Structure 1
């Protein structure tokens, strides 16, 4: 018997990944307790959404899921694009660089 895997909505998942990177940058620049708390909240939500336990694992799984979602929704013969949190096309993860390690 196969187990079902739940997948987060790609637009919401893209928003979480984008927010994670924004907060990571803020936390590095400011180091404020508020930015740290928000970063921890987004990291937790990313982990729950992807079924992982660490931020690095969550980001890797999120990018895999987002790439898979784009393959399903891209018309044949067209290059898939990433979705922004607003649901608009953006550059692919490879064009804007890897999220992991930023």
Structure 2
């Protein structure tokens, strides 16, 4: 099963928690929509259908993952720049 990068998952959980508080305080259509959007993304990222399940999976995955602060790809994983010659070797 594919899993989200720990930094991305951590960010989604933090966004969810922040938006949950914001929606509780404001109760606006916009705050509800933002909360629903991040909840959906969290569910997709964890392969779940309910926010409660997504949060539980996210917390389990984050507890098992090493602490990572940067979600950018490593240099060796990055695609070559346009116009760069690429030579494949065996």
Q: Show the counterpart of 1:61.
A: 57
Q: What's the CA shift string for 1:12-47, capped at 9, x where partnerless?
A: 000000000000000001101111000000000000
Unaligned runs of 5+ in 1: 71-81, 89-102
**Once the 2 structures are TM-superposed, how far is the Cα of residue 68 of structure 1 from its aligned partner?**
1.0
Asked whether 1:12 is paired with 2:8, we answer: yes
Q: Does 1:36 align with 2:32?
A: yes
Q: Which has the larger radius of gyration?
A: 2
Q: Report the TM-score when normalising by structure 2.
A: 0.74
Long gaps (5+) in structure 2? 71-90
- TM-score, with structure 1 as normaliser: 0.65
Q: Does 2:47 align with 1:48?
A: no
Q: For 1:30 and 1:41, how far apart are their aligned partners in 2? A: 17
1:57, distance to aligned residue in structure 2 (A): 0.2
